Amino acid sequence: MLNEESKGYLYNTLVMIDHFLSFIVLDNEVSDWKENLLELIKSHSEINLSSMGFPDNWRELNI
């Protein structure tokens, strides 16, 4: 789900990439992409996700 309050930020771009990948690649490859992205975010806990447009409840949203 796009974050309407953060147009032009990375979060919305990642949501759109995930959406497009769901149409053009196999389900397990989309799953791998999501898992890799989550691991990348987790491994860089010093980054400020809200400055990239991530809503506070981003983990709970169905993207």
Domain that holds residue 29: 4-51
Contact between residue 55 and residue 4 where contact means Cβ atoms under 8 Å apart: no
- 7-42: b (≥16 Cβ within 10 Å) or e: eeeebbebbeeeeebeeeeeeeebeebeeeeeeebe
Contact between residue 11 and residue 3 where contact means Cβ atoms under 8 Å apart: yes
pLDDT per residue as tens digits for the range 3-59: 566 566 899 999 989 888 888 887 777 778 888 999 999 999 999 999 999 999 998
Residue 42 lies in a domain: yes
Residue 61 lies in a domain: no
Residue 27 lies in a domain: yes
φ, ψ of residue 55 in degrees (nearest 5): -70, 160
Q: Which pair of structure tokens corresponds to residue 4?
A: 């309407």
Question: Could you tell me the pTM of the whole model?
Answer: 0.75
